[in-house]
Structure 1
Amino acid sequence: MVFKRKPPGRTRSVYATSFASTLAGDNEPYGADRTHPSVVDSAGDPLDDEDSPFEIVRATVSNKDDGTLPTLTFRFWLLSILFTAILSFANQVLAFRDYSILISPIVVQLVSFPLGKGLARVLPDWHVHLGTFSFRLNPGPFNMKEHALIIACANSASAVAYAVDIIVVRRIFYQVDRGFLGGLLLVLTTQCLGYGLAGICRRFLIRPAAMIWPANLVSVALYRTLHEEADLEALETDAGGSGARATTRMRFFMIATLGSFAYYFLPGYLASFLGAISILCLIHPHSLLLNQLGSGRHGLGILSFSLDWNNVISFLGSPMVTPFWASLNLFVGFVIVCWILLPIGYYSNWWNAKQFPIIGADVYDINGKSYPVLSVLNKTTWSLDETLYKQYGEGYMSFYFAISYGAGFATLGAVVVHTMLYHGREIMARLRDVRTGAEDIHARLMDRYQEVPNWWYVTVLMLNTGLAILTCHLYDLDLPWWGLLLAVLMAAVFIVPIGIITAIANQTPGLNIITEFIIGYLLPGRPIANMTFKTYGYISVVQGISFLGDLKLGHYMKIPPRHMFLAQMIGTIIAGVINLATAYLMMNIVPNLCAPDGNVAATRWSCSNTRTFYSASIIWGVIGPKRLFSTTESLYSPILWAFLIGALLPIPCWLLARRFPGSWLVYVHAPILLSATSLMPPARPAMYNTWIIVGFVFQFVIYRYRHHWWSRFNYVLSAALETGTALGALVVFFAFQLRRVHLDWWGNNDLCRADLDHSNTS
């Protein structure tokens, strides 16, 4: 993998510079730097010490290790549990919003730094004895390893437990609730099962130097910046200097956070139309055609944009962190699907498209009305009643929803073929490295610490698998034991290829569609079983990848593996309990939670993620893929060809990249292109437009022409915007929405008319 960097035009931090090159797209995303062990720096001078064979890692990660630094300190326990609890509660509340937003770990990384430093100053250096166990209350300065371990624990709460959606859907939409304990077992087993799989294959995805995990380099660069500047401040202060340099980033973070917090009250409460501004709708708000083309919420989003940071990052993440070449792939894929294929199919009335909304994520009857799901289910078994289904008629999808599933099918085929073409040799080389014991300097530095025994991970896998089978049986999740084992097997097969793409391209294709597809064939007409199988198969991979990412961070930071394992497991358990308790709290105190109608303001609590989850349970569980795709009478049977199209697409991309190695073609990434609309629904088109503009400005223009500012403040600004927006959303909820205090004026209405009759083509 050749990571190239332009000669620096000004003096700047070497580790920030190289990492910036990768994010801005100045590197080739594939290949390998095979110049090691004759390692040279960017100027061509030989390095004195052994280092990584990859320049981006050499410039970002230290090849030294201080094994005396403490990690499992009192400060770690205090701050990690505090932030894990706060994040799991806040993110679960925010996940119910129409445009959900999550407080990211980078926010905790910044906020925990001054708190850790403050505790190091004020805590007394006492030796605390608890029976035979003793520890120092304040073992010295707050260090990078301790800081990183806090974030590893809190990162377990950065994404809400996926299984909570099963519980919410069952209670709100299917009107079934089996109690808190059953829900808790479901949440914890789905969150932890993937950890066992991840630990078993960690030698292939963590120890090899080629597995870079770019997102972790953002954290490593920020850790080094914060702590090394703090050390410099101490030296300057001892020498009689002002020591002001180290506070610049933190001051910038606080100012930007306050600004973001104050601004959020405009799009979040006072003027919610700022969440999706459509130029076409402003031209003619009563034109159905312009509403369909221009609406950022209910249409294609052409010439629309958002001035609400919550909307921009709620599903796609921050464009200020994503590599620009990856952002461009995502946007091109979005344009092809949403602005080319969708209007052609809709206005040509393929699959009776005009009977349904142009952008719709529900399931409809033949008249375009919401499908009466409960009316076709047997209330005893919660499975499809064939007689009632024939009485009420078939269920239908919008054309938009149908092709989004086609894109998901194509992505799965592309992931497999892309991995074989681009990384097949590398995988084999890594396997040979494992057999021969060849490792880079970071792996050898980690060898001084006790590794987590394999039997720990096998125990986690087996224990959670057994508890999952028991949970499915005792709490009416309708999934037989063989279905649970099949879900685990699918996760085991895909975790390595998906982990490779994540480790190299910072994108994680999901198994949600293929898991729904398979169990829909095996257990047709059973929505609860479908949701459960999808969660165990899909989220186990997601959780495993997240676990591996944190292990790689610990690898770079030289944190003892057993300490990382402990922090991640504790954080996951705490977060799972609080996620579920918060969900029950929201269902009890928020009236009409997850209702599809209501104010179009961006602050409504319509649970876009949960509603999409519910719609998928109808499509794949109640109706089933056999009725939708596998019969000659089915409208949607052509979608199955997407598997083949996706499998073939990486081949010309790979051939062209080899034929023209110095061209832009090396940046074309078929799985990312095809997965661009995988989040639609619930993501909306207006997000993509603003997202790519922000990414272009910060990851291309500012990076190239204001690089000193970029390297110092880009990630800090991204974290500050997220923090301020999330805090603003929580304040608006508890201060106004929970008390039903609403401002009724035109600024809190959508500029586009969502109520126009979609069946009227005039």
Structure 2
Amino acid sequence: MADEVEYTESEKNNNEISITASSAEEKDKIYRRIRESDDLKDLLNEDLDFLIEKFATIDVDTAIVVLTEAVDYHDDDVNFPTQTMNRIKQLLQYFSQPEDEPFKNEFFLLEDYQLDLRLAATLIKYHSPYPEVRAVCKPFDDPTIPVETFRAYLVGFFWVGCASFINEFFWLRQPKITLNSTVIQVLTYPTGKFVARILPRKTIRIFGREFTINHDMPWTFKEQMLVAIMANVGLGGTDFLNYATTMKLSMFFGLDYIGYGFVWLMNFSVQTFGIGVSGILRRWVVYPTKAVWPTALPTLQLNKTLLLPESKKPVHGWTVTRYQFFFWAFASTFLYYFIPDYLFTALSTFNWITWIAPKNKNLAFVTGSKLGMGYNPLPTFDWAVINYTLPLSVPFYTAANRYIGVLVSGLVIIGCFFSNYKFTGYVPINTSGVYDRYGKTYNISRVLTPDHTLDPAKYRAYSPPYVSAGNLVYMGASYALMTFSIVYVMWGEWPLLVEATRGLVKSLRAPSKSNYENHKDPISVMMSKYPEVPDWWFFVIFVISLVVGIIGLRCYPTGTPIWAIIIMVLVSLLLLIPIAVMYSVTGYMVGLQQMGVILGSYMVPGNAIANMMCRAYGFNIDDQADSFISDQKLGHYAKLPPRAVFRAQISATLIQVTTTTGALQFLFTAVPDLCSYTQAARFVCSFPHQLYSDTLLLGVVGPYRTFDVLYPILKWAFLIGVLAGVPVHYIRKELIKRYDFFQFVQPVVFLGGFVRWGSTYNLSYFTGGFYMSWIFMYYIRRRYLAWWTKFNYVLSSALTAGVAFSGILIFLALQYHPKKLKWWGNDVSSAGVDGKDVATLYSVDAEHPYFGLADGQWK
């Protein structure tokens, strides 16, 4: 394996360029070859000098060993550049030939193929095989750079507090406007420089230890990265606040005891659970080289843009610096966003096809961007909509697999709807709402007892719940995806899982031994100099989070048995590992929310609130763990001390929990008509509606009535997922041997496209992102890799930051106290059928006052 290349002791301790360079002639030749390489020509001079010095230490025999191990390790790696892999195989094939039988290939007529062999090995042994990582990550480290400073925590705490409040406030809006790590870094950089200039340079003593308030060095790269990690923790939010919204509002469950105290306890519990679990996941998704974490790379790129010097040589004719490019793109997007968000809102949900015949229901059902399915080739001019799929961050093969999955599953939904399968023609085609047999929104209070459990007599007298075609496909796909992904990933990544499990057992037996000893890639070797976070630190956090959660469940009338939560946690931990492995490689996360709903419905039948608590601990643990572990990989790339990252995550979590809980309470009182589909500022609460639907069907009505009486096909989805996992793995493996193209076919991601329905989101939120992904992550990356390396992540950061700042200004100035701009461009998108939230194919009338199962067919 590439991770097992041995290093000498001197190499492990070498942080600077110290090895004597090769001859001047050879050095010039290497410079020319690197400058000819599209993905290396923009390397900083210090990075280039470092690699050339390391090049001098690698002979042909060593290079063959390094590249042979790299081929074994990366041969099925979808992130490893295909062109590079083919080139390495050609080189190895040539050097494996007998001297009297030279390998006949036009490629090897180059001036010096030994140089190419040694250069490829140098990059793998001393840098990274991935252009994306080389673009944002330095090949050496300076451990003397300040990281965990007083000024870093001061800046971090301030921005985490401000931005986590803003993020939670806009979390329930569609599309969401978020201050992500990108935006916070833009704010952090001038703030950090300002604080570094004004703080006194003195030392204080606290609890017997001395702390320096302000270092003599300017604001550093590593301080910036530590604040970025704090921002990621603070800004990621927690889905439990969606649960609190569903429990609190009268349109859902209307529970009076949902206040600051209960929400804080549960919010803290599920958040810190993620930190505890992340300590176990390190072995699978931080240390391995394959765990690229593509979604984390833009943060590093922006950090590099802001603080590190860059080459001034033109790239494909572009002489602008990254910093200049960022602010030009940022300013343009900031100004432009006023158009689709306020001045001409039809450009945001550009349902132009429905304008042809606004009253045509069938046209609206298929092409509409609001009520309909969104089959529209030009659906938006709004970056907030386009960026829903992170098109400039996620690899193109991931975006393509997901988009095709959404496209195909949408056709299934259309077929179900127009054939009136399971009475779906009587409800809107794609909604998370639940309806009764009279076509009205399901009134859950008519079937509940005072303690919020199901009353069978009331249920029989009222109605079974009915869901849309979109929601039906979403549920079936979720169940199949859950079982399929577990089987498929565990079967395909079994060696990696076994290796990491052995490492976990060894670390428990020898807690003083570093985990880095099992990984010999360049970054792990450099990181081995820093003290590691002991496993028991994470275990303590895990126990504390469980205790706080139990206190919350016991002190408030949730009716949730503690044993059910413990079982839910144990099951989640077992399933989290393969899902985290998939996320770290592809940038796509498979959620386990449905598992919590289903297990909870069997463990605590008929209890809506207990079901939601089981779901919270079944999904939020995994969601938060993936977020925390992604940030640990970010610290790994930036060579931050692991213990500094741990303390930053803990402190940021405490601030985030406190602030977001307060923000939610403010939302309840400050936003009128919250969570209504017609809310003026689009606070429509997409996920709380979906959560309410799932809880009603399985938590209240129960799995027997849902799976056996209402929708029997759903229970077969679990079995289909299990049975398909292994055959699909082998079929894909055989196809890859014949056609290289199939290495980019990801069945899990494709099936994940099927679960993108059943809410207010539709294909129109994916089409624009797919176009942008093809342009930047495929075409430009292949044709203009140097430009892509320098500017792609900068552009993504600038567009996102511009939309976020502009959206906040628009809301505060023009929407908080509504100043409506009424004209055709703001009214046309909602004037027809697509602007309604109740349009259906069929409807009840005086002659047929209800639809669905006949009286007595449900219990």
Q: TM-score, normalised by structure 1?
A: 0.89
| Paired amino acid for 1:723 | A
Matched, 1:383 2:453: yes
CA contact (8 A) 1:208 1:430 kept: no
Aligned residue among 351, 354, 362 for 1:278: 351
- Give distance in 2, aligned partners of 1:372 and 1:6: 68
Shift of 1:669: 0.8
CA contact (8 A) 2:447 2:454 kept: yes
CA contact (8 A) 2:406 2:756 kept: no
Shift of 1:257: 2.0
What secondary structure is seen at the aligned counterpart in 2 of 1:383? coil
Matched, 1:220 2:312: no
* Distance 1:48-1:200 versus aligned 2 partners, 3 A rule: closer
CA contact (8 A) 1:51 1:58 kept: no
**Which structure's CA Rg is the greater one?**
2
| Paired amino acid for 1:127 | T
Shift of 1:401: 0.2
Aligned residue among 593, 606, 631 for 1:550: 631
Shift of 1:270: 2.3
- Give distance in 1, aligned partners of 2:170 and 2:133: 38
Aligned counterpart, 1:350: 421
C-alpha distance after superposition, 1:78-137 (max 9, x if no partner): 221122112201111111213223222122234323433444445443334456333141
CA contact (8 A) 2:427 2:839 kept: no
The aligned runs of 1:388-427 (5 Å cut-off) are 388-427=458-497
What secondary structure is seen at the aligned counterpart in 2 of 1:134? strand
Matched, 1:162 2:162: no
Matched, 1:94 2:170: yes
Aligned residue among 515, 533, 550 for 1:452: 533
Matched, 1:728 2:806: yes
Aligned residue among 719, 726, 729 for 1:644: 719
Shift of 1:258: 2.3
Aligned counterpart, 1:703: 781
CA contact (8 A) 1:189 1:465 kept: yes
- Give distance in 2, aligned partners of 1:584 and 1:55: 45
C-alpha distance after superposition, 1:450-501 (max 9, x if no partner): 2222221111111111221121111122211111101211221122111111
Aligned counterpart, 1:12: 41
- Give distance in 2, aligned partners of 1:10 and 1:425: 31
- Give distance in 2, aligned partners of 1:155 and 1:66: 24
CA contact (8 A) 1:24 1:325 kept: no
Q: Which runs of 5+ in 2 are unaligned?
A: 4-33, 49-76, 96-113, 507-514, 844-859
C-alpha distance after superposition, 1:304-332 (max 9, x if no partner): 50112222234x3x211110000000011
- Give distance in 2, aligned partners of 1:194 and 1:11: 37
| Paired amino acid for 1:544 | A
CA contact (8 A) 1:628 1:637 kept: yes
Matched, 1:572 2:679: no
Aligned counterpart, 2:694: 616
- Give distance in 2, aligned partners of 1:29 and 1:578: 47
- Give distance in 1, aligned partners of 2:294 and 2:767: 24
* Distance 1:644-1:53 versus aligned 2 partners, 3 A rule: farther
What secondary structure is seen at the aligned counterpart in 2 of 1:382? coil
C-alpha distance after superposition, 1:319-378 (max 9, x if no partner): 11110000000011001101x211122112111121111112100012321001122222
CA contact (8 A) 2:128 2:134 kept: no
CA contact (8 A) 1:360 1:400 kept: yes
Aligned residue among 689, 709, 721 for 2:767: 689
Shift of 1:759: 3.3
| Paired amino acid for 1:458 | F
Q: Which runs of 5+ in 1 are unaligned?
A: 237-244
Aligned residue among 640, 652, 655 for 2:731: 655
Aligned residue among 292, 306, 319 for 2:391: 319
C-alpha distance after superposition, 1:510-549 (max 9, x if no partner): 1001111111122222111111111111110111111111
Shift of 1:56: 4.9
- Give distance in 2, aligned partners of 1:168 and 1:10: 48
CA contact (8 A) 2:572 2:621 kept: yes
CA contact (8 A) 2:430 2:760 kept: no
CA contact (8 A) 1:123 1:138 kept: no
What secondary structure is seen at the aligned counterpart in 2 of 1:643? helix
- Give distance in 1, aligned partners of 2:806 and 2:224: 26
After alignment, is 253-262 or 212-221 more displaced?
Answer: 212-221
The aligned runs of 1:83-122 (5 Å cut-off) are 83-122=159-198
- Give distance in 2, aligned partners of 1:291 and 1:376: 34
Aligned counterpart, 1:297: 370
C-alpha distance after superposition, 1:569-624 (max 9, x if no partner): 1111111111110111111111111123355xxx3222222222222222222222
CA contact (8 A) 2:156 2:231 kept: yes
Shift of 1:687: 0.6
- Give distance in 2, aligned partners of 1:194 and 1:29: 37
The aligned runs of 1:61-140 (5 Å cut-off) are 61-130=137-206, 132=208, 133-140=210-217
C-alpha distance after superposition, 1:221-252 (max 9, x if no partner): 4434543317x79xx9xxxxxxxx99832232
* Distance 1:9-1:209 versus aligned 2 partners, 3 A rule: closer
The aligned runs of 1:30-49 (5 Å cut-off) are 44-45=118-119, 46-47=121-122
Shift of 1:430: 4.3
CA contact (8 A) 1:194 1:540 kept: yes
CA contact (8 A) 2:394 2:586 kept: no
- Give distance in 1, aligned partners of 2:636 and 2:127: 13
| Paired amino acid for 2:700 | V
CA contact (8 A) 1:264 1:725 kept: yes
- Give distance in 2, aligned partners of 1:310 and 1:732: 14
- Give distance in 2, aligned partners of 1:544 and 1:30: 33
- Give distance in 2, aligned partners of 1:57 and 1:606: 37
What secondary structure is seen at the aligned counterpart in 1 of 2:536? helix
Aligned counterpart, 1:242: none
What secondary structure is seen at the aligned counterpart in 1 of 2:710? coil
Shift of 1:287: 0.8
After alignment, is 711-720 or 427-436 more displaced?
Answer: 427-436
Matched, 1:199 2:279: yes
Aligned residue among 255, 260, 264 for 1:176: 255
C-alpha distance after superposition, 1:667-718 (max 9, x if no partner): 1111111111434324222111111111112212222334343222221221
| Paired amino acid for 1:174 | F
CA contact (8 A) 2:601 2:702 kept: yes
Aligned counterpart, 1:759: 841
CA contact (8 A) 1:527 1:617 kept: yes
| Paired amino acid for 1:574 | I
Shift of 1:50: 4.5
CA contact (8 A) 2:182 2:801 kept: no
* Distance 1:463-1:346 versus aligned 2 partners, 3 A rule: same
| Paired amino acid for 2:360 | S
Shift of 1:649: 4.0
What secondary structure is seen at the aligned counterpart in 2 of 1:305? coil
Matched, 1:669 2:746: yes
What secondary structure is seen at the aligned counterpart in 2 of 1:487? helix
- Give distance in 2, aligned partners of 1:55 and 1:267: 37
- Give distance in 2, aligned partners of 1:354 and 1:29: 52
How many residues matched?
Answer: 734
* Distance 1:606-1:450 versus aligned 2 partners, 3 A rule: same
What secondary structure is seen at the aligned counterpart in 2 of 1:229? coil
Matched, 1:288 2:361: yes
Percent of residue pairs bearing the same amino acid type: 26
CA contact (8 A) 2:391 2:772 kept: yes
CA contact (8 A) 1:312 1:690 kept: yes
Aligned residue among 557, 563, 588 for 2:644: 563
Aligned counterpart, 1:259: 332
Aligned residue among 737, 740, 757 for 2:815: 737
C-alpha distance after superposition, 1:259-282 (max 9, x if no partner): 222222222222222222224312
- Give distance in 2, aligned partners of 1:668 and 1:137: 51
What secondary structure is seen at the aligned counterpart in 2 of 1:378? coil
- Give distance in 2, aligned partners of 1:348 and 1:383: 34
| Paired amino acid for 2:374 | G
